[in-house]
Amino acid sequence: TDILNIQEIRADFPILDQEINGKKLVYFDNAATTQKPTPVINAIAHYYNFDNANIHRGIHTLAERATRDFEASRTAIRDFLGASSTEEIIFTSGTTQGINLVASTYGRKFINAGDEIIISGMEHHSNIVPWQMLCEEKGIVLKVIPVSDEGELDLEAFEKLLSEKVKLVSFNHVSNSLGTINPVKTIVDLAHKFGAKVLVDGAQATSHINIDVQALDVDFYVFSAHKLYGPTGMGVLYGKKDILNAMPPYMGGGEMIKEVTFEKTTYNELPYKFEAGTPNIADVVALKTALEYTDKLGRENIAAHENMLLNYATDQLREIEGLRIIGNAKNKISVLSFVIDGIHHQDIGVLLDNQGIAVRTGHHCTQPLMQRFNILGTSRASFAVYNTTEEIDRLVAGLHKTIKMLK
């Protein structure tokens, strides 16, 4: 029993109404990026059609309008995350940049040789590589929370890794490969007992779960707009104000300064200290529209619909002979990763695409996690608010056809 009218919602996403290889498109690659509703597309067009100007320094009307809408988006994101101040909301190019920013500034300044950083075994490469680079540079030790067969973090093992040496714990709220929802507050509380700071990669969480950074007590939270029905190349870093204030700037340039002389430069206040250069203004503005769109639907309603789809799809995929689902956490979002005996995931992807069905195949930027499960990759169907049970029936039929052709 759906509260949402899915057919009405589908009408908001023009891209869905097309044929691929002669079949109506089924888009099941939402964990990679969600499609954009008309209001978001219109917000970008409206900005360029009517308001385009550079922000903050202009006094003419267009510059004032652009600045107003840009900063209104920051306020909307503060409320969306439950942050206490707009000073804690830094615009970035995405999750990847948010993590790199923290590694390059907080990490370089406050984490030293012999210290430890803990990540998890189910991290996206963007939450592995920046820490490895930092560890190599500074002689820091990287430790990893193991993943169970079900695809959950081993919290007992995590507790054993903790000590006063640990300066930072960084892990995802939701795994993009398994769908696992991790117990953020439990991990945060354990880490804080030892004085470690915590960064949470929320890339996969924000479209499914209500976030409250103060209740979770996270020190940093990062996400990308494009997984939340917003534009690509735009994201957010939340950080606690006192921590951000203690951090050196990331990139140098315009906007992030207070005063520049050749002898010495002083830096701007938060959040501008971390926002050098002309930002992605139209896309920042459009993220606010994406938040309004999902707020109107209600994240609980979106999650309820997606859970229904996940259960429906899981039951049906379990019936397929030789198919194994990777990631069976008790708490998961609508990501369904699977392997089929004797069939390469790439072949599955190609043959499904022939039938108009878009799934992702491969390692999903989580190679260590694939190694943990002794596989090269999976096929991954991930569902969004506009997906339907009819589309899942198409996937199931498509898989049967694929297996028949390849076996």
Q: What is the set of active-site residues?
A: 365
Shorter beta-carbon distance to ligand PMP: residue 203 or 403: 203
Q: Helices 345-354 and 389-406: crossing angle, nearest 10°?
A: 120
Return the ∠ at Cα 100 (arms to 363 and 149), rounded to 5°: 35
Contacts 24+ apart (CB under 8 A), 314-319: 316/392, 316/393, 316/396, 317/396, 317/399
The distance of closest approach from Cβ of residue 95 to ligand PMP in the complex, given in angstroms and rounded to an integer, is 4
Task: Please say which residue, 122 or 140, places its beta carbon nearer to ligand PMP.
Answer: 122
Q: Which distant-in-sequence residues (6+ apart) come within 8 Å of 123 by Cβ?
A: 170, 171, 172, 201, 366, 368, 369
Q: Are 248 and 235 within 8 A, CB to CB?
A: no
Question: Regarding beta strands 89-92 and 235-239, do their DSSP bridges make them parallel or antiparallel, or are they unpaired?
Answer: antiparallel
Q: How far is the CB of 29 from ligand PMP (least distance, A)?
A: 11
**Site of interaction with ligand PMP (CB under 6 A):** 94-96, 124, 126-127, 172, 176, 201, 203-204, 224, 365
- In the complex, minimum distance from the CB of residue 33 to ligand PMP, in angstroms, rounded to a whole number: 8
| Distances in whole angstroms, Cα of residue 97 to Cα of each of 18, 92, 316, 373, 387 | 33, 6, 38, 28, 30
Count other Cβ atoms within 10 Å, centred on residue 39.
16
CB of 117 to ligand PMP, least distance (A): 17
Whichever of 35 and 95 has its CB closer to ligand PMP, that residue is: 95
Shortest distance, CB of residue 277 to ligand PMP, whole angstroms?
18
**At its nearest, how many Å lie between ligand PMP and the CB of residue 112?**
26
Largest CA distance in the chain: 72
Alpha helix stretches (DSSP H) within 217-298: 241-246, 281-297
Whichever of 204 and 355 has its CB closer to ligand PMP, that residue is 204
Rounded CA separation 381/358 (Å):
8
Closest CA to 391 of 338, 352, 351, 341: 352
Residue 307: in which H helix or E strand, if any? helix 299-318
Question: Whole-number minimum distance, CB 364 to ligand PMP, in Å?
Answer: 7
| Pairwise CA distance, residues 78 & 72, whole Å | 10
Please report how close the Cβ of residue 232 comes to ligand PMP at its closest, in angstroms: 7
Closer by beta carbon to ligand PMP, 205 or else 399: 205
Residue 316 or 367 with smaller CB distance to ligand PMP: 367
Packed helices 61-81 and 281-297: angle between N→C axes, nearest 10 degrees: 40
Q: Whose Cβ is closer to ligand PMP: residue 349's or residue 356's?
A: 349
Alpha-carbon distance of 29 to 109, in angstroms, equals 38
* Helix orientation angle between 299-318 and 389-406, rounded to the nearest 10 degrees: 30
Instruction: Note whether 134 and 107 are within 8 A (CB).
Output: yes
Task: List 169's β-bridge partners, or say none.
Answer: 118, 198
Closer residue to ligand PMP (CB): 233 or 253? 233
Unique residue bearing structure tokens 């490969």: 177
